Chains A and B, each alone.
Chain A
């Protein structure tokens, strides 16, 4: 079990050129240490220490999350007087208050609208550009490729200062569709990079056969190539979904209308407003409400999520 999460198969081609050891596409049994002849004392101490560290870190990861869940069911008084004790009686109305009065429902809706639009757009435009760059020879191909992937290493905040005014001039500032377009644009570098590598690994013969049978280039792409590229699309889709769902910097700068806030900035807004009201329990309910769906989805799609996200760093 422990070693089955090798990076997704798309990587092999991209990997060597970008300085990561070549990964055999097949999953293999993991290496492990056979410490057969290790004798008594010293080995055991080391073992206890290492296990202790592993347990300690798991504890450190889980405790803050459990603490938040627990706190979201407490009264404000309990939060202040006994941070670590269980709630005397679970306060479900905290959750109701956060969902309604504190506008969590609006923030969820805005986020779903934005991510729904931007994820669709990113995948469509990203795969179109990547396909052309991977499979067709034309003057300027290399230049465009590096233009796209160059965007991965530049500090985004630098571009956001002029972008704010560009969007303002286009009447896109503080609108959801403006945010959607921005998300798509800033997701393209990685998407194009990843999918270009992926399309190169696919066999060419199937597409050629389709062309010979009289399919147009566009039809070949949508009906033959995209289905073949499904594993790669899923990986990069998960990567983009989490990145866009959790995005904080772009909406903070470009989407300041309180009516249109997305989840991450809505929570920060909530922290400020509930802080004034002293409604900490409502705030924690909001935090946990935002946290649980993503964690639940992660636990269900654990393998795909891990593959999609680690593919991200293998650039």
Chain B
């Protein structure tokens, strides 16, 4: 009997575990090891060089720029996205006015429609979104500047992605644009599980919309906000930022004019697959790993508070 059970366990775990170990775990371990070598990626020979890559990192101006941009993304993008999404979700679920004969509590009219529309960007590939906005941002014939001209702001014609002062903000705006809808829907789901009595009690006490939001909705939703924050932060540090910056921004190095939009994952990619400096690329990757874990730890710590049971 037990013999059969263990054979079954081994049989079921073998394939997934082997694939996962070979394609995910092993490369991760290798990557950390390679960061202590001078491996180019082009030839199989390399020597262990200790901390030399890390010393080089400290003097690498482009690395510091990438780090700065990645940190800016991970701090600002989730903050703006979540603030907007909380506002919209609150309006859609709690913000409706009282209608005679209707249920006591509702969202605004048409909230189902808004939720469907807001979610559109989430189902599109980030590559499609990035390409679309690349054209929209085009200074001469893009939709945005043409729109500004149409409303009489013809004198305001920024060179969005081509201007080092605007490029990173333009990238952030795209990331916010494509994730707000997801959080609206996520927070709506969370808000719908808050008991109605809480709102009714607040109303009886004469609380307004703003007070209700800060005193009832936000505290009870806090755990969802926190896990959403970490989820968004990991995307803003990793795959999404890579795709948007790599596709959208100009410059020979793919990091915008004068490296004004380069981010850590893109820098890893450039060093490993264009410059043939695989070992140094993994060193940058390890720095990215440290930033990611630090971010997650900080958000968890900030968010630690008494668990509200309801």
A57 CB-CB contact with B under 8 Å: yes
Asked if A83 and B143 make an inter-chain contact with CB atoms under 8 angstroms apart, the answer reads: yes
**A155 near B188: Cβ-Cβ < 8 Å:** no
- How far, in Å, is B150 (CB) from chain A's closest CB? 6
The reply to whether B24 and A157 contact each other, CB–CB distance below 8 Å, is no
Mark each residue of chain B from 276 to 310: 1 if its CB lies under 8 Å from any CB of chain A, else 0. Answer: 00100110011011001100100000010000101
Interchain Cβ contacts under 8 Å between A and B, 20 examples: A29-B103, A29-B196, A31-B199, A33-B212, A38-B208, A51-B91, A53-B91, A58-B114, A61-B120, A65-B120, A129-B13, A144-B17, A148-B20, A157-B242, A185-B22, A218-B12, A221-B12, A302-B116, A306-B185, A314-B227
CB–CB B238/A156 < 8 A: yes
Q: How far is the CB of B242 from chain A (nearest CB, A)?
A: 6
Closest beta carbon of chain A to B135's beta carbon, Å: 8
Residues of A87-143 at the interface with B, using a CB-CB cut-off of 8 Å, are: 125-126, 128-129, 131-132, 136, 138
Q: Is the interface of A mostly helix, strand, loop or mixed?
A: helix
The reply to whether A62 and B226 contact each other, CB–CB distance below 8 Å, is no
Residues of B within 8 A of A175 (CB): none
Establish whether residues A58 and B117, one from each chain, have CB atoms under 8 Å apart when the complex forms. yes
**Contact check: which of A136, A155, A248, A312 meets B9 at CB < 8 Å?**
A136
Any chain B CB within 8 A of the CB of A201?
Answer: no
- Which one of B34, B97, B278, B286 has the greatest number of beta carbons of chain A within 10 Å? B97
Whether A1 contacts B34 by the Cβ 8 Å rule is no
Q: How far apart are B302's CB and chain A's nearest CB, in angstroms?
A: 13
Query: Which of A160-168, A202-210, A229-237 has 4 or more CB atoms under 8 Å from chain B?
Result: A160-168
| B interface, size bucket | 35 or more
Interface string of B50-71 (1 = CB under 8 A from A): 0000000000000000000000
Q: How far is the CA of A108 from the CA of B275 in the complex (A)?
A: 31
Q: Is A197 interfacial (CB-CB < 8 Å)?
A: no
Per the 8 Å Cβ criterion, residues 96-137 of B in contact with A are: 96-98, 103-108, 111-112, 114-128, 131-136
A1–B268 alpha-carbon span in the complex (Å) = 46
**Is the CB of B186 closer than 8 A to any CB of chain A?**
yes
- Chain A minimum-CB-distance residue to B93: A30
Scan residues 1-43 of chain B and give those whose CB is less than 8 A from a CB of chain A.
Answer: 4-6, 8-9, 11-13, 15-17, 19-20, 22-28, 30-31, 34, 41
**Given A128-B16, A132-B12, A159-B24, 9 more pairs with CB closer than 8 A:** A3-B188, A32-B104, A34-B199, A148-B20, A163-B27, A185-B19, A246-B124, A306-B115, A310-B185
- Chain B residues in 8 Å Cβ range of A125: 15-16, 19
**Number of A-B contacts defined by CB within 8 Å:** 363
Known: A2-B93, A32-B94. A84 touches B188 (CB 8 A): no
Inter-chain CA distance A165–B152, complex, in Å, is 55
Asked whether, in the complex, the Cβ of B27 is within 8 Å of the Cβ of A21, the reply is no
A314 to B54, CA, bound (A): 36
Q: Which residue from chain A places its CB closest to the CB of B118 in the assembled complex?
A: A61
Tell me the minimal C-beta distance from B168 to chain A in angstroms.
Answer: 19
Contacts of A151 in B (CB 8 A): 20, 24-25
Chain B residues contacting A265 (CB-CB under 8 Å) are 127
Inter-subunit contact A248/B34 (CB<8 Å): no
Asked if A267 and B128 sit within 8 Å, CB to CB, the answer is yes
Quick one: given A1-B112, A253-B273, are A34 and B200 in contact (CB under 8 Å)?
A: yes
Interface residue? B234 (CB, 8 A):
yes
CB-CB under 8 A from B6, the residues of chain A are 138
B203 beta carbon closer than 8 Å to chain A:
yes
The 8 closest A-B pairs by CB, nearest first: A32-B105, A158-B285, A185-B23, A246-B125, A264-B127, A32-B106, A3-B192, A162-B30
Q: Determine the residue in chain B with the shortest Cβ distance to A297.
A: B123
From B91, B111, B119, B212, name the one whose CB has the most chain A CB atoms within 10 angstroms: B119
Asked if residues A188 and B192 are in contact (CB atoms below 8 Å), the reply is no
Please report which residues of chain A, range 53-75, place their CB below 8 angstroms from some CB of chain B when the two chains form the complex. Answer: 53-54, 57-58, 60-65, 67-68, 71
| CB <8 Å contact, B112 and A31 | no
Map CB proximity to A onto B168-189 as digits: 1 under 8 Å, 0 otherwise: 0000000001001110011011
Q: How far is the CA of A265 from the CA of B127 in the complex (A)?
A: 7
- A20 (CB) vs chain B CBs: closest residue: B223
Closest CB of chain A to B15's CB: distance in Å? 6
Residues of B within 8 A of A147 (CB): 20, 25
